[in-house]
Amino acid sequence: MLAKYNFMAQLRSRNVRLFYKLVIDDLEELAPVIYTPTVGTACLEYSNILPFLTSPGVADGLFLHDADMPTLREMIKNYQPVPDFQPQIAVISDGSRILGLGDLGMNGMGIPIGKLQLYVAGAGIDPRRTLPILLDLGTNNEKLLNDEFYLGVRQKRPDDEQFYSAVDRVMTALHEVYPKLLIQFEDWSSEHAFGLLDRYQYKTLCFNDDIQGTGAVILAGVINAVRRVEKESNISPKDHRVVFYGAGSAAIGVARQIQEYFQIDQGMSEDEARKIFWLVDSKGLVTSDRGDKLAQHKVYYARNDNQGKQYKDLLDIINYVRPTALIGLSSISGAFNETALKRMAELNQQPIVFPLSNPATQAECTFEQAMKATDERVIFASGTAFPSYTSPSGKVHYADQGNNMYCFPGIGLGGCLSEPKHISNRMIYTSAKALAESVNAEEQAQGRLYPSLKRIRPVSVEVAAAVMEEAAREGLATASVPQNRDELFKYVNAQMWTPEHSDDTLSRI
């Protein structure tokens, strides 16, 4: 697969229009090549393969580090590949938490590049208006620091004071050069991911895909799973109990989004909705009396009703909580073993199991394992693509993938077109509702929780339109948003870039 990744990267550097024509026409096959799971391998090898990814003289992205701070504005201006096309969207990472692979430093550039390719393919963002950025402040990965071929800055990561000072300067420079730029934070360490979102969400046009995008996509799948269980097994939405195996930024983001659904759509109080969730980290069930100092982002969901009992093993936690849903964001391969899955099936007629860790080598379980262990009763969605499963009777079951690509391109497109003062939590929530509603009758008949990736552009239009409507409703939109829904859809469609209607300036990227 890495050879395919290299080939596609070379094609993009030589013929952008052909690259996107191929990707758009066969996204289901090529998305795993240009992004997850292959991009994980590419990031691990990035310093080694970088010379083979682009043609001579073609930049692969904008790398920034401490030494660049005095000349940030000039560097940002000089990077612009096509002078007449100012960037609309930037994806920025510091490489500190790449997928489930950890701190990869400068090698994490594959993530901003891949995300922006999906913006183009999935939502029609003009490739000339995309800006991939890697803020290289060093790495704590000793293997990389000792690797003679590593191309990043060879120093340990700075303390929080230096870190936030550097990011502040980068954000200020970006918005001085491009005032309307939408910035997506991607793959930062959990503590910094929340810190950056708290710091910038209401000051500038930005969002965090790991926290908000992942939360929105999984919420859409959960909404459809809850509706299905209610319809087929007569389980009230208010009776769900959800165990999160993993308590990082993505897990908290998902929990927050699902909690909004129970509060807004099911009429539960904040405290009632919060008590639906049990979080599990590397030390076990997250409780307020566990005896260790909890990271700040875990405190809100720490249980205080455990009567002093502590649980570490997943099976013990399942027996204690008796969950209706098990969501994995731990990056621990095989964490949802056969025993745990069978117990979920004993407790539930239709157990909801979402192993969401990326890449596939770190998924908590496979679709086949979940199907076999639950007598094919599982309602399943994963973070990485799994093949379909054919039962002994010959029936084919399809694995849903809670792919962030269903939401973030539409959120970004809606943000670019409505130009809101900031991306509100309610805009993220409406993107999830729009995604849930986009599953058509044929897909519902197949038991799907998500639409087909073949329809990603129409789905992105629905998500973008919902974001724009909410931006206007909240009075945040600074650009005109059509009030008539049909006109709004026509407007969004008309703004989407296609390879067929591009000009020769693409040859300069």
Contacts of 46-50 spanning 24+ positions with Cβ under 8 A: 46/104, 46/106, 46/107, 46/108, 46/109, 46/110, 46/151, 47/106, 47/107, 47/147, 47/149, 47/150, 47/151, 47/152, 48/149, 49/2, 49/6, 50/151
Is there a single domain that holds both residue 189 and residue 226?
Answer: no
58: containing domain: 1-204
Percentage of residues of the chain with pLDDT beyond 70: 98
SS3 content of the chain, % helix, strand, coil (to 5): 50, 10, 35
> Among 37-46, 55-64, 111-120, 454-463, which is the least confidently predicted range?
55-64
* Residue 174 forms part of a structural domain: yes
Confidence category of residue 66, pLDDT binned at 50, 70, 90: confident
pLDDT of residue 360: 81
Instruction: State what percent of residues in the chain have pLDDT above 90.
Output: 85
Residues 166 and 271 in one domain: no
Give domain status of residue 312, yes or no.
Answer: yes
- Give the model's pLDDT for residue 67: 82
Q: Can you give the pTM of this predicted structure?
A: 0.91
* Interatomic CA distance for residues 464 and 119, integer angstroms: 12
> Does the pLDDT value for residue 61 go beyond 60?
yes
Residues 175 and 253 in one domain: no
Residue-wise pLDDT tens digits, 443-475 = 998 889 999 989 999 999 999 999 999 999 999
Going by the annotation, the residues of the binding site for a divalent metal cation are 186-187, 210
pLDDT at 16 over 60: yes
Three-state DSSP class for 47? helix
Q: Is residue 248 part of a domain?
A: yes
Residues annotated as binding site for (S)-malate? 97, 358, 403
Residues of each annotated binding site: 97, 186-187, 210, 358, 403
Contact 110, 116 (CB under 8 A): no
Q: Is the pLDDT of residue 370 over 90?
A: yes
**Residue with structure tokens 């009075």?**
475
Report DSSP state, residue 35: S
Q: Do 146 and 125 share a structural domain? A: yes
Q: What is the mean pLDDT of residues 307-314?
A: 96
Last residue of one domain, picked from the residues 186, 204, 222: 204
pLDDT tier, 37 (very low <50, low <70, confident <90, very high otherwise): confident
Query: What is the tally of structural domains in the chain?
Result: 2
Q: For residue 364, what is the DSSP state?
A: S
Maximal C-alpha separation, the chain: 68
Does residue 317 have a pLDDT over 60?
yes
Which pLDDT score is estimated for 508? 44
From 169, 204, 239, the end of a domain falls on 204
Overall residue count recorded for the chain in this entry: 509
Give the CATH number for residue 193.
3.40.50.10380
**pLDDT tops 70 at residue 397:** yes
Query: Same domain for 157 and 260?
Result: no
**Is residue 507 predicted with pLDDT exceeding 60?**
no
Contacts for 142 with CB less than 8 Å, ≥ 6 apart: none
Catalytic residues: 35, 115
DSSP state of 206: E
pLDDT tens for 138-151 read: 999 999 999 999 99
